[in-house]
Amino acid sequence: MTLAITILASLFSVVNPLGAIPMFLSLTADDTPEERNRTSLLTSIYFVLILMSFFWAGTYILGFFGVSIPALRGAGGLVIMMSGFALLSGDTSKRRIGDKVKAEAMEKEDISFTPMAMPLLSGPGSISLLIGYFSEYPDMNNKLIIASIIAVTGIIIYIVLRFSPLLFKILGRSGLKAVARIMGFIVLAIGLEYIVSGVIDLVKLYW
């Protein structure tokens, strides 16, 4: 239970589905409630499939390119810290999706896979985090717990996007930015811990 809560808190903080609400509402402004609900469901499904794929196959992909887990932790920690700084500054989505990508998304009929599921929700930070967890917890039972947490996070994303108009009405932009800053502090701490862990492992590996 402790492992599940720890993984869920870390993954939820890095993914930050609440920060995706303004972008989601902007991209689905002309959609009917039924279309928006369908996009919410597809986004959560794609999110789970993407992270599951990288979680189970990520170490093999890294091995193919000759990238070590400690190096991944160092690079992933930097990416996570950059996300944390963006959240602290109140910039919840622009760092993940540029204006050009957003303009292209406005012309698309289906935004569930891109830009919503990737890169807005499942980006380099969450992918590197999960690949690191795969190596850190070699026991199969722990791996299955982490996989179930990915699915639970997908369900949370669906609920957040499904009720995004209500959440935005309750929290407003100022409320979302306040939550984002709190999340940003947590994400910064996760990123720093990841970098320190990677550096220590690299020192042990080569010295």
Domain ranges of the chain: 2-206
Distance CA 192, CA 194 (A): 5
Residues of the chain whose pLDDT is less than 50?
94
User: What is the per-residue pLDDT across 21-57, written as a single tens digit (0 to 9) for each?
Assistant: 988 998 898 889 999 999 999 999 999 999 999 999 9
Task: Write down the pLDDT at residue 50.
Answer: 97
Task: Write down the pLDDT at residue 162.
Answer: 96
Task: Write down the pLDDT at residue 195.
Answer: 92
Task: Write down the pLDDT at residue 141.
Answer: 95
Helix (H) or strand (E) holding 7: helix 2-15
With beta carbons less than 8 A apart as the criterion, state whether 129 and 79 touch.
no
Task: Write down the pLDDT at residue 63.
Answer: 85
Residues for the chain: how many in total? 207
Task: Write down the pLDDT at residue 90.
Answer: 66
Task: Write down the pLDDT at residue 85.
Answer: 87
